[in-house]
Structure 1
Amino acid sequence: MKNFKIISLVLVLFVFCSAASAQNPKQLNGKIKQVKKVQNIPYNVANSLWNQDLGNHRAEIAVNSVGKAVHVLLPWRRRDVNSDQKRLIVTDKQGNEMKNIYRIDINRESGEFVFEPESGAGTYFVYYMPFKGKKGNGSFEGDYLKPEIAPEQTWVAKNDISHPFNLSKSKLVEAKLIQFQSRTEFDSFYPMEVCATSSEVNQLTNSGNANYLLFPEDRKYPIRMTGDLPQRWIQNKPSSQFKGTAKRNEYYAFQIGVFAAKEKLENLKVSYSNYQDKIICFNLGGIDSEGKPFAKRVDVPKGKVQALWFGIDIPEDTPTGEFLVDVTIQPENEKPQKVTVSLQIEEDVLADRGDSEPWRHSRLRWLNSTLGINDDVVAPYKPLTVKDKTISCLMRSIRLNDLGLIDTMISKENPVLNNPMQFIVETDNGIEKLLAKSMHFTKKSDGVVSWLAEASSTNVALTINGTMEFDGHIGYAIKVKALKDIHIKNVRLEMPVKKKIAQYFMGMGLDGRYCPENYDWKWKGPQDSYWIGIVNAGFHCEMRGASYSGPLLNLYHPEPPASWYNQNKGGFKISSSANEIVTTSYSGEYQLAANQELNFEFAILITPVKELNTNDQFTNRYYHNGNLPAPKMEDLKSGIKVTNVHHANPVNPYINYPFVAVDTMKNFVKKWHENGLKVKIYYTIRELTNQVAEIWALRSLGNEILGEGSGGGYPWLQEHYVDNYNVQWFTPIAGYEACDAAVITSGQSRWYNYYIEGLNWLVKNVDIDGLYLDDVSFDRSMLKRMRKVMDAAKPGCLLDLHSNTGFSRGPAIQYAEYFPFINKLWFGESFIYDKMTPENWMVEVSGIPFGLMGDMLHGGGNPWRGMVYGMTVRYPWYTEGVNCDPREIWKVWDSFGIADAKMMGYWDALCPVKTDNPNVLATAYVKNGKVLIALASWASSKTDVKLVIDWKALGINPEKVTLSAPEIAGFQTSKKYGINEVITVEPTKGWLILIEPSK
């Protein structure tokens, strides 16, 4: 047994040293072959990989004498509930499959059958969970094979195999079980998923008086099952002692399994004899994603197991020797039980608390982190200023009235509102005349200013809480309280916008377009917000109050905000007059009793959120090549400055958990830093791979972090998660035997805190330069934390955001609240660029009205129209049959020096270059006596146009310049033009024309 324990420790260390093995994934299996025994039956990992269609599990048996029929009994102790519905495949050592199998009894605990050993005496393998499926990028389609066909009756009769089967009377050859094997270590059930039999559990349950049993477990053996006991616990017995070894400065994790043997356990509580400030049970509460403490109720149904995960903070100055603490488990309806935890503290100091070694589970403390939750201001923003009732931030300001509502709104010196914001309560008596009682500031800091106002009428009282943050985001929570029984006809939020500002609109069911004069909308689809404005002024308004307020993606479609929706009595409308456009969000009617309250929430973001940085757009060009993130050295000549490392490749193999191939990623980052490239990685939250080191601790939290669902999917999930999970992204990874089988996360949870700490760790330890965000689901508070953490660890980190228009009527409306913290957009999947109007390009694709710029994507974009907005595709983005290569255009950029030019688009009244056709638009890039003109046509047919150039504004003498179209492969042929010459433009295409001094 001593040798067995030593070998088991070696095995565990091997399992968790994944970063090193991930560098050479083909050596992952077969490197250490460890025999493990349960009741003298070895559990092993195969010496070499077998065909995966045979399943992940097999038994090796020996047939030592020749016979026509062999009896096999396999005490496999399985946890799947439909064991008898899966096929048995028996092969010889060469892989030849045996035809005749007679099932005697196949169940979870054991399998008994007879087969014909066609290859004679020797070694045979029994595969008992075979499946067939198709692995694709994004999904797995397949299932376990159905039971094998019945054996030939002549063989059955000849060998006198009768029903019911009687072994003592049979003359069958008896097979000898050699071992159970898993295909890889990751597939193994040993030891924590090798089930105790029902008789063993009954004997254990009935052997004492306790109604529940405690099983302390080391972190090396995460508790995996809730409906079964591991056979290991039958051997080890319940215990009131836990012993471990820890290092100084380690965050030490361990478990206690609680088995409700005889009755349901209600509302578990935990207490500690000492070190109360050093120890925590993660299952009973912690710190939520907003930094607030919370508690969880934990009940354990009769016959079920609840794993309780604990963390002990071992300070660096902890004395060596024994560290003792008693942990008392107290169900509400049962007597308490105590576990004495004894840690032997070693002299060594762990510099990073253990975080670089995932098997230690030290990073569980990240679940309760508050990193990034503060009022700090991040670049390029400045501290808020307050003067009287005016609050100012970068480029924007608001003035409040006595009700705490917005009286005036200014963006880049442009007044946005034509009249003050109105929050209107209309009853049967008409519009309630609200008398302001008080308005005062409750908080003034560099990053946040808050205020409180109260008002009342004869029928209602209002409490108005408002907050403005450094990025121009304004949040309102308004409580409407009935002072008597009343009938409310409507509650309305009215935003009267100056007509010259209300040029563009998107949201509430509309894609990006010119703002309609009138519009009526009822709640439907993933819509809860709108944006209205021009390039240099506007605002985004979101109706809030739903259980989820992040981007409304295909995976996250909660009910609309309850008070505004009001059982679909609420809605949204646009109305117009000579000087203004009024947007109105309304609730419809309510019947309120005296003292009954309604809560209305909404948020406003004043746009643009920052100054447009064209230099960054034209300088920091992106290399984005999916599963092949490393450019060729010759690609550097094109001027690429940033490479995005997607998931599902050897550098970043598993989705949303970039902590596996850490050494590989470090080497990748180091290499490309040395060659002048920044490296950003894919790392989000929406799905979570099955490769997470702490996955069983997360499963022990119920559905707090991992979303619930009907299960199914890739066999590994069915074999180990078993039930209550929601299948999401699946990816086979070249060179990696272990596939990436992800499940959905549950939305806002403590995983947000882990994610933030993980980001901080990656920036500091791997030296990444930021993140590539792909249709993420968290809200702006997470973006703030991310930006704060990255800027603190490594100023200059980058965030770019990708989205798909298929999830809504446009990702720009879904992600507007992200924009203050984003560097670049990549909105374009599913965009049909040739059919999109200029206003749709402006609002949904370009990012320009928000102070951002972006790249094109779907089908290679439209390079001519893209240049009007300063956009190209990313290199080497490829669409079959379409020229997507931006490098030829980039050469023109560099030759002209576009990074230092002033971009003046058709939307700018001061743009010095226009055309005489409103369907052919021009953007001028102006620099030191030179101009690069981007022309693009939205005309339906070939069009002749002339340039209308304000030479005086350009400061250029037209008699001393030449106009030419440089040769750009796949874009245009070279051509020279006279100053007044007609330019022919093909539909959906255009030109890049250079004005430069004559030679």
Structure 2
Amino acid sequence: MTRMRWLNSRIGTDPNFIIPPFTPVEYSGNLLSVLGRKVRLGRMGLPDQIDSYFNPEMTGLVNKPNHILSQPIAFNVTVGGQLESWASTAFKPITESKSRMSWRVKNESKKFELLISGAMEYEGMLDYQIRLVAKNNVFIENIEVPIYMLSDAATYILGLGHKGQKTPDKVNWKWDVKNHQEGVWLGGINKGIQYVLRDENYIRPLNTNFYQNQPLVLPKSWENDGNGGISIETNKDHVLVRNYSGSRSMLAGDTLHFNIKFLITPFKLLNTKDHFQTRFVHKYVPVDTVIAWGGTVVNIHHANEINPYINYPFFNLGKQTDYIQEAHRKNVKVKLYNTIRELTYKTHEIFAMRSLGFEIFNDGEGGGHSWLQEHLRDHYHSAWHAWSVDDAAILNKGTSRWTNYYVEGLNWLAKNQEIDGLYLDDIAFSRETVKRIVSILYKHRPEVVIDLHSANQFNPRDGFINSTMLYMEHFPFISRLWFGEYFEYEKDKDYWFTEVSGLPFGLMGEMLQGGGHPYRGMLYGMTTRMYGKYDVRPIWKLMDDFGIENSEMKGYWLDNSPVKTNHENIIATSYLKSDRMLIALASWSEQDEKVNLDMDWKQIGFKSNRLFSPKVDTLQAYQEFNLKEPITVPKNMGLFLLLEKK
């Protein structure tokens, strides 16, 4: 019970602690700078321009800015058919800490005060608290924040009820509490923005099967009794996004809060070498088995000997220590399943926390495991049940003081058990909590691995939100993705690129549902993991024989991709070395196709007359090909090809 004091901990909140690879926020002139991105502020305190410096390969930074906006962002209020004209006070951003700069601008018109408070944090989050105050009674025809984006910065869309795809010509979206939708991501390969629209009453909704139990509190300012919405219109050289609230009346002194939170993507560079050298085994097996399988990281789920009870990894600590120490001696990293959303009934402090009413645990209809019904009786929400270890859980809150306990617990585990990171099974807590998690882990461990798994949230229970859209605010602080159950791997390449791969955000990942698709996955550098009945070793062997960690990944989305095909449904990504190239071909065709490869020999850098498919157990046989003749690609599958220097 001594750990109850953890509920009031503030560990991990040092504002001057910045995790790698990020750098402090810098300000010069009217430019704010973070890793790979800059924001030029206008006189009202809003962005005049947002620039990306990531190269198209996402592996380096360039000197020339790559613009995102085609016009400055404005805050428009229309009264009597006329836009309000604003006079703005001078301002200069203040350095609050290494991780955050803020500014405040007072804008005035004849009818309103517009108070804009902005802040930028080190990973690329741009947070605006905007207050509109009426000086007199007034009828307003519209309040709108238009965002003009260059076309190549808005190639793809996520959100507003759209699965990952190319941005449609027109979108007309309205607020609906049944849908967990409050904003959108629009982006290209190496530049984009996500934003969400909120007000002062925002409360984080529940997610992962429970959204409808605690949905969005719709922002009165933006939603405006059904008058507000978002429209998107694609033009020749730009995409116009109108965030509008429609007509309303305000009395003198009335205040409306039009808060906007932006994320500028991508967040960080891809490290393909590290990605391909890191191999996950997602099951509790002996350390020597992990090594024999080729794994370098083992995820210890719950419901096993050394992590028996869900989200409370403080049982069998001696065996847990022995396992982790053995793994470290043999150069294997160990990560635990430990998150917030559900909590085992074996928790020592369960009755003490129940005494706090509904601060820690969610209210509910009870039921479930017999122990819960006997001892808790009612007013709890029954959740996970693991029969193998007689474990049962109830829902707890990711916005309560339990987050303090959770972060202190991770601090203890990193310091005493030397865990190397976390396996997060969806995230039910805030961005601030994730920042605290990574801060304390990096204080104790030289390298931290945090992977995020998510089941596809685009369903009625979860309010039709894209998992990537939902969790994007956490992406800067995690290492890789594992998306996930119910993802639609049969969908097209744009869906894979935006919803599954993580690439437009500076992340890479693995596949889960049904073991994934080996050929489509490798277009994005993705394999499955060693888990359940799925065996990824044949693909790992192919990668090791080729030496993929020392290659350059040249994705099909690049203008200078060295290999293309003559069929729109057969896509190629290449992995290029000085004397060899691995080509991943993936098919979305319903029939076998004969395709020709268009080789850019200048990009390849060597000449060759030998092209063959290496043997990959359970996938493909060895076969030689003539570079001048078509190659047959099996329907809805693909081929791995090797091109070798003469």
Distance in 2 between residues matched to 1:503 and 1:822, nearest whole Å:
25
Which among 631, 634, 646 is matched to residue 986 of structure 1?
Answer: 634
Which among 810, 818, 826 is matched to residue 474 of structure 2?
Answer: 818
The answer as to 2:431 corresponding to 1:780 is: yes
Asked if the contact 1:477–1:601 (Cα under 8 Å) also holds between the matched residues in 2, the reply is: yes
Structure 1 residue 862, shift from structure 2 partner: 0.9
Asked if the contact 1:747–1:777 (Cα under 8 Å) also holds between the matched residues in 2, the reply is: yes
Residue deviations 1:62-88, cap 9 Å, x none?
xxxxxxxxxxxxxxxxxxxxxxxxxxx
Greater shift, 436-445 or 527-536, is seen at 436-445
Structure 1 residue 907, shift from structure 2 partner: 0.3
Amino acid in the other structure paired with 2:423: Y
Matches within 5 A, 1:373-452: 373-375=13-15, 376-412=17-53, 413-452=65-104
Residue deviations 1:546-567, cap 9 Å, x none?
5323674432423233322223
Which among 453, 457, 467 is matched to residue 119 of structure 2?
Answer: 467
Q: Give % identity.
A: 40
Structure 1 residue 635, shift from structure 2 partner: 4.7
Alignment correspondent of 2:380: 725
Alignment correspondent of 1:372: 12
| 2:89 partner SS | strand
Asked if the contact 1:438–1:455 (Cα under 8 Å) also holds between the matched residues in 2, the reply is: no
Matches within 5 A, 1:161-560: 361-375=1-15, 376-412=17-53, 413-524=65-176, 525-545=179-199, 546-549=201-204, 552-556=207-211, 557-560=215-218
Which among 312, 323, 342 is matched to residue 668 of structure 1?
Answer: 323
Distance in 2 between residues matched to 1:790 and 1:548, nearest whole Å:
27
The answer as to 2:348 corresponding to 1:693 is: yes
Distance in 2 between residues matched to 1:940 and 1:522, nearest whole Å:
37
Asked if the contact 1:638–1:891 (Cα under 8 Å) also holds between the matched residues in 2, the reply is: no
| 1:610 partner SS | coil
Asked if the contact 1:688–1:744 (Cα under 8 Å) also holds between the matched residues in 2, the reply is: yes
Alignment correspondent of 2:542: 892
Which among 804, 808, 811 is matched to residue 455 of structure 2?
Answer: 804
Distance in 2 between residues matched to 1:658 and 1:565, nearest whole Å:
43
| 1:894 partner SS | helix
The answer as to 2:603 corresponding to 1:953 is: yes
Distance in 1 between residues matched to 2:410 and 2:521, nearest whole Å:
33
Structure 1 residue 727, shift from structure 2 partner: 1.2
Amino acid in the other structure paired with 1:869: Y
Distance in 1 between residues matched to 2:159 and 2:286, nearest whole Å:
39
Which among 215, 221, 225 is matched to residue 563 of structure 1?
Answer: 221
The answer as to 2:477 corresponding to 1:827 is: no
Alignment correspondent of 1:906: 556
Structure 1 residue 631, shift from structure 2 partner: 4.7
Quote the RMSD (CA, aligned, Å): 1.6
Distance in 1 between residues matched to 2:35 and 2:250, nearest whole Å:
42
Asked if the contact 1:790–1:797 (Cα under 8 Å) also holds between the matched residues in 2, the reply is: yes
| 2:226 partner SS | coil
| 1:924 partner SS | strand
Asked if the contact 1:916–1:948 (Cα under 8 Å) also holds between the matched residues in 2, the reply is: yes
Structure 1 residue 634, shift from structure 2 partner: 4.7
Distance in 2 between residues matched to 1:733 and 1:886, nearest whole Å:
27
Distance in 2 between residues matched to 1:632 and 1:787, nearest whole Å:
25
Q: Quick one: higher RCO (CA 8 Å, sep 6+), 1 or 2?
A: 2
Amino acid in the other structure paired with 1:367: L
| 1:541 partner SS | strand
The answer as to 2:441 corresponding to 1:793 is: no
Alignment correspondent of 1:856: 511
Distance in 2 between residues matched to 1:548 and 1:929, nearest whole Å:
55
Structure 1 residue 428, shift from structure 2 partner: 3.3
| 1:995 partner SS | strand
| 1:640 partner SS | coil
Residue deviations 1:787-839, cap 9 Å, x none?
111111112111100111143342111100111001010012101312x1100
Structure 1 residue 601, shift from structure 2 partner: 1.1
Distance in 1 between residues matched to 2:262 and 2:268, nearest whole Å:
16
Which among 606, 614, 621 is matched to residue 966 of structure 1?
Answer: 614
Alignment correspondent of 1:649: 304
Asked if the contact 1:476–1:601 (Cα under 8 Å) also holds between the matched residues in 2, the reply is: yes
Structure 1 residue 721, shift from structure 2 partner: 1.3
The answer as to 2:264 corresponding to 1:616 is: no
What TM-score results when the alignment is normalised by the length of structure 2?
0.94
Closer, same or farther: CA 715–638 of 1 in aligned 2, 3 Å: closer
Residue deviations 1:458-486, cap 9 Å, x none?
11110000000000111001000011111
| 1:859 partner SS | helix
Distance in 1 between residues matched to 2:229 and 2:89, nearest whole Å:
30
Asked if the contact 1:860–1:877 (Cα under 8 Å) also holds between the matched residues in 2, the reply is: no
Asked if the contact 1:527–1:552 (Cα under 8 Å) also holds between the matched residues in 2, the reply is: no
The answer as to 2:241 corresponding to 1:587 is: no
Distance in 1 between residues matched to 2:287 and 2:640, nearest whole Å:
29
Structure 1 residue 916, shift from structure 2 partner: 1.3
Distance in 2 between residues matched to 1:795 and 1:635, nearest whole Å:
22
Distance in 1 between residues matched to 2:235 and 2:75, nearest whole Å:
20
Residue deviations 1:488-535, cap 9 Å, x none?
222222211101221111101111000112110112311122111112
Residue deviations 1:379-398, cap 9 Å, x none?
10011110011010100110
Structure 1 residue 543, shift from structure 2 partner: 1.7
Residue deviations 1:249-301, cap 9 Å, x none?
xxxxxxxxxxxxxxxxxxxxxxxxxxxxxxxxxxxxxxxxxxxxxxxxxxxxx
Distance in 1 between residues matched to 2:369 and 2:207, nearest whole Å:
27
Structure 1 residue 637, shift from structure 2 partner: 3.4
What TM-score results when the alignment is normalised by the length of structure 1?
0.61
Asked if the contact 1:912–1:924 (Cα under 8 Å) also holds between the matched residues in 2, the reply is: yes
Closer, same or farther: CA 778–970 of 1 in aligned 2, 3 Å: same
Residue deviations 1:752-809, cap 9 Å, x none?
1111111100111111110000112112111111111111111211110011114334
Alignment correspondent of 2:57: none
Amino acid in the other structure paired with 2:282: H
| 2:7 partner SS | helix
Distance in 1 between residues matched to 2:274 and 2:223, nearest whole Å:
42
Alignment correspondent of 1:712: 367
Amino acid in the other structure paired with 1:787: V
Structure 1 residue 947, shift from structure 2 partner: 0.8
Distance in 2 between residues matched to 1:497 and 1:631, nearest whole Å:
52
Asked if the contact 1:474–1:605 (Cα under 8 Å) also holds between the matched residues in 2, the reply is: yes
| 2:280 partner SS | strand
Distance in 2 between residues matched to 1:732 and 1:596, nearest whole Å:
56
Aligned residues: 623
Greater shift, 718-727 or 382-391, is seen at 718-727
Amino acid in the other structure paired with 2:183: S
| 1:893 partner SS | helix
Closer, same or farther: CA 551–980 of 1 in aligned 2, 3 Å: farther
Structure 1 residue 632, shift from structure 2 partner: 6.7
Amino acid in the other structure paired with 1:799: I
Structure 1 residue 416, shift from structure 2 partner: 0.6
| 1:691 partner SS | coil
**Structure 1 segments unaligned to the other structure (5+ residues):** 1-360, 879-883
Asked if the contact 2:81–2:141 (Cα under 8 Å) also holds between the matched residues in 1, the reply is: no
Q: Which has the larger radius of gyration?
A: 1
Amino acid in the other structure paired with 2:175: W
Distance in 2 between residues matched to 1:552 and 1:460, nearest whole Å:
38
